[in-house]
Amino acid sequence: MKVLVISDIHANLTALETVLEDAGDYDAVWCLGDLVGYGPDPNECIEVVQTLPNLKCLIGNHDQAALGLIPLERFNMDAHQAAAWTQNVLTEENSGFLYDLPELIEVERFVLSHGSPRNPMWEYILDPFVADRNFDFMQHDFALVGHSHLPLIFSRKPEEDVAINIPVLAQQPVTLEPQMILNPGSVGQPRDLDRRASYAILDLAELTWQLHRVEYNFSSVQLRILEAGLPERQALRLSAGW
């Protein structure tokens, strides 16, 4: 069974559609949250995600902000403005879809969360120290997370005490061994200085993880951001992945 793993779409329909086409054949989709926020296509992205096969989908912190579940003051100025705009344009049906999404999903050996297993909404796993704290907390072999917009893998073998950061290269499968924390990067707003949309294919039969990057028409998204009156900075960053 092949699973398409996506995260942090951030209302970027063009990137999402490009990823879905590039991914080829897959049996299920696991979406790690933040379908909306920053970008110009929140309703369209939610509607596409709802159609995906065997979908498991989490709510992210920007999704919660768009529903008014967390104070916008917790965000920086750009994120605050984008969340307020999203609140005004979301349809009732799409708001209802987001509202029903869970913060955590367990699938056999896997736990899925937007931020981290121990703090699903807000914690960023960016270094081995934070990874270690989550390995201590985890009761599963593997954790899939998003939130940072960075494709990352952390590993800690049972006989070892310290997590290590495993280099992630696109198109090169990684064999999964307990325990690992894996981040597919961001579909709609990469932040690793690579503007290409990022996603992963998880092969549950072979137990492999393969990162993929794909170019998309980011300039069309930039234009829609500006036309919507969203922060110019959110348009500029798409051209360089920062």
CATH architecture for the domain at 2-239: 4-Layer Sandwich (3.60)
Q: What is the pLDDT of residue 138?
A: 96
- What pTM value is reported for the model? 0.97
212: enclosing H helix or E strand: strand 208-214
Closest CA to 5 of 230, 204, 223: 204
- Per residue in 61-79, pLDDT (tens digit) is 999 999 999 999 889 999 9
**Mean pLDDT of all residues in 4-27:** 98
- Per residue in 213-236, pLDDT (tens digit) is 999 999 999 999 999 999 999 999
State the Cα angle at 169 between 125 and 153, rounded to 5°: 25
130-135: long-range pairs with CB below 8 Å, 24+: 131/156, 131/163, 131/165, 131/181, 132/156, 132/162, 132/163, 134/181, 135/163, 135/179, 135/181
pLDDT at 19 over 90: yes
The encoded tokens of residue 121 equal 């909404």
Domain ranges of the chain: 2-239
Q: What is the pLDDT of residue 159?
A: 83
- Per residue in 80-99, pLDDT (tens digit) is 999 999 999 999 999 999 99
- Per residue in 133-192, pLDDT (tens digit) is 999 999 999 999 999 999 999 999 988 889 999 999 999 999 999 999 999 999 999 999
Q: What are phi and psi of 40, to 5 degrees?
A: -95, 0
